[in-house]
């Protein structure tokens, strides 16, 4: 099965009356030789690890936070949304909190699911587990959401890139948000076309975002960008589900993201030599952490 572009995905969906998650399952079967049951088992395992990362970050003091620039933010958000009606709504506040939680676990060398990368490991679990609670999503739909997200990630990886070192943070958080937006759309009953519009909108929203980790550690700005990534995914999915389309098709947005990444100077691609990493405070923190 060929899965080179978003257009390929849509054509297969239309021809065989499938969802993107059905195509992702067929693709994985053809590539891995695994059965449907085995693939679903792997997806369930990923979801379990995601859930454990969220729980661990929210309920356990993370002891080995590398740079100690983050820690406790997930709980702060939870304390607030449990106490009062959050200004951005419960689904978004929860998703942000879950995403921050995953990043705290990642910074403590704990177990996370790179989705698509370790630096962006909070976005997809954040939105999936948040809408699971607020929108009564079943376990089967959670697996479908993960499969939808994987198909979008595969297309981005084949036509652009997923790492901050290659394409800037737009490639990491932008791709994670695109994957998550498509997953939400299909979980909520949207069409494959709407899912790719959601993904395109999410990727465009973060186009040009540089990678500038303070002291070279995946803590700041990474953790807050994961929180923003969940918000971006939810906003983009909401628009797509309402029938709002991306003016630029998904495949062209992916190509544009790649081109923007290619023109980014090295200082803005994970070298920690530009952006907020190069601010006086960023440099001071680096010195303190490395001393
Ligand atoms: S700033 Fe760089 S390291 Fe941090 S999440 Fe973005 S791409 Fe990853």
Residue 64 has what pLDDT? 72
Distance CA 134, CA 214 (A): 34
State in Å: Cα 244 to ligand 1 middle: 29
The number of the ligand 1 atom at minimal distance from the alpha carbon of 169 is: 7
The number of the ligand 1 atom at minimal distance from the alpha carbon of 168 is: 7
Q: Confirm whether 1 is domain-assigned.
A: no
pLDDT in tens, 156-191: 999 999 999 999 999 999 999 999 999 999 999 999
Residue 237 has what pLDDT? 98
Q: Is the CB of 173 under 6 A from ligand 1?
A: yes
Q: Confirm whether 24 is domain-assigned.
A: yes
- Say which residue the tokens 């698509």 belong to: 116
CB atoms within 10 A of CB 271: 17
Closest CA to ligand 1's atom 6: 169
Q: Is the CB of 270 under 6 A from ligand 1?
A: yes
Q: Helix, strand, coil: what percent of the chain each, to 5?
A: 70, 0, 30
Q: Confirm whether 262 is domain-assigned.
A: yes
**What total number of domains does the chain contain?**
1
| Ordered alpha helix ranges (H), 108-245 | 123-134, 139-159, 164-167, 169, 175-187, 192-205, 222-241
- pLDDT bucket at 2, cuts 50 / 70 / 90: confident
Q: Confirm whether 122 is domain-assigned.
A: yes
Distance CA 242, CA 44 (A): 29
Whether 62 has a pLDDT exceeding 90, the answer reads no
SS3 271: coil
Distance CA 1, CA 170 (A): 28
Q: Are 104 and 226 in contact (CB under 8 A)?
A: no
Residue 154 domain boundaries: 6-290
Q: Confirm whether 157 is domain-assigned.
A: yes
Closest CA to ligand 1's atom 8: 119
Residue 284 has what pLDDT? 97
Residue 1 has what pLDDT? 75
Instruction: Please choose, from the candidates 61, 145, 127, 139, the residue with its C-alpha nearest in 3D space to the C-alpha of residue 90.
Output: 127
pLDDT in tens, 80-93: 999 999 999 999 99
Helix count and strand count (H, E) for the chain = 14, 0
Q: Are 71 and 223 in contact (CB under 8 A)?
A: no
Task: Write down the pTM of the prediction.
Answer: 0.98
Residue 105 sits in a domain whose CATH number is 1.10.4100
Q: Confirm whether 65 is domain-assigned.
A: yes
Instruction: Please choose, from the candidates 225, 265, 49, the residue with its C-alpha nearest in 3D space to the C-alpha of residue 120.
Output: 225
Q: Are 158 and 4 in contact (CB under 8 A)?
A: yes
Q: Confirm whether 179 is domain-assigned.
A: yes
């Amino acid at each position: 099965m060929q899965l080179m572009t978003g257009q390929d995905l849509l054509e297969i969906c239309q021809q065989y009356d499938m969802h993107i998650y059905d195509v992702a399952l067929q693709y994985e079967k053809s590539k891995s030789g695994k059965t449907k049951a085995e693939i679903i088992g792997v997806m369930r395992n990923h979801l379990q690890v995601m859930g454990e990362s969220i729980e661990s970050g929210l309920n356990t003091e993370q002891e080995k936070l590398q740079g100690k620039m983050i820690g406790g933010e997930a709980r702060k958000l939870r304390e607030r949304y449990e106490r009062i009606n959050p200004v951005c709504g419960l689904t978004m506040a929860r998703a942000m909190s879950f995403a921050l939680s995953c990043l705290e676990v990642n910074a403590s060398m704990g177990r996370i699911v790179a989705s698509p990368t370790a630096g962006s490991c909070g976005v997809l679990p954040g939105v999936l587990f948040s809408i699971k609670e607020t929108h009564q999503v079943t376990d089967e739909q959670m697996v479908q959401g993960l499969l939808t997200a994987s198909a979008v990630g595969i297309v981005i990886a084949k036509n652009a890139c997923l790492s901050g070192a290659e394409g800037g943070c737009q490639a990491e958080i932008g791709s994670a948000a695109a994957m998550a937006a498509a997953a939400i759309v299909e979980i909520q009953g949207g069409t494959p076309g709407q899912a790719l519009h959601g993904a395109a909108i999410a990727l465009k929203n973060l186009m040009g975002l540089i990678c500038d980790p303070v002291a070279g550690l995946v803590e700041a700005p990474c953790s807050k960008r994961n929180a923003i990534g969940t918000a971006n995914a939810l906003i983009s999915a909401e628009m797509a589900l309402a029938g709002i389309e991306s003016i630029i098709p998904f495949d062209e947005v992916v190509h544009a993201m790649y081109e923007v990444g290619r023109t980014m100077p090295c200082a803005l691609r994970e070298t920690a030599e530009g952006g907020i990493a190069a601010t006086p405070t960023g440099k001071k923190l680096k010195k303190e952490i490395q001393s």
